[in-house]
Amino acid sequence: MIGLWLPVVVWMATISYAAALPHVPGPAASLSDTALHVSGYAVMGLLTLRATAKGSWAGVTARAILLAFVIAVVHGLSVEVEQMFVPTRYAEWRDAANNTIGAATGLTVAWAWSKIRG
């Protein structure tokens, strides 16, 4: 169980830590804001689905996908709230939307792959 959820917790903590910094760190600063949000939450969706599906392609059900989606979206919203308290950062609905799009994209790809794998 810990092995399934640890990567999710580490990824969430990494995003939250980076969001609390006064500026976008290192090489990520050269990427577009949209690309950062969409790709970061695509990974979040995939990691969370791995945990909700109990590490098995057979576990990729509508329930597991929905739960992974809700967890990723709630985390994305919490990060935007967090940024309201960082003086040089801004909470933006566009970022929350991009987080949601990223999670949905990652989960859609995983769902499609689970169907291909049979």
Please check the confidence at residue 8 and state whether its pLDDT lies above 90. yes
Write down the residue that tokens 């990060």 correspond to.
Answer: 79
Per-residue pLDDT band for 90 (boundaries 50, 70, 90) equals confident
- At 24-82, the pLDDT tens digits run 777 767 778 899 999 999 999 999 999 999 999 999 999 999 999 999 999 999 999 99
d(CA 37, CA 28): 11
At residue 67, the pLDDT reads 98
% of the chain with per-residue pLDDT over 90: 81
Please check the confidence at residue 19 and state whether its pLDDT lies above 70. yes
Please check the confidence at residue 93 and state whether its pLDDT lies above 80. yes
Predicted TM-score (pTM) of the model is 0.92
Q: Nearest to residue 96, comparing CAs of 114, 66, 74?
A: 74
Please check the confidence at residue 92 and state whether its pLDDT lies above 70. yes
Q: Judge whether 107 and 88 are in contact, CB under 8 Å.
A: no
d(CA 46, CA 108): 9
Q: Locate the domains of the chain by residue range.
A: 2-20+32-117
Stretch 12-19: mean pLDDT, rounded?
95
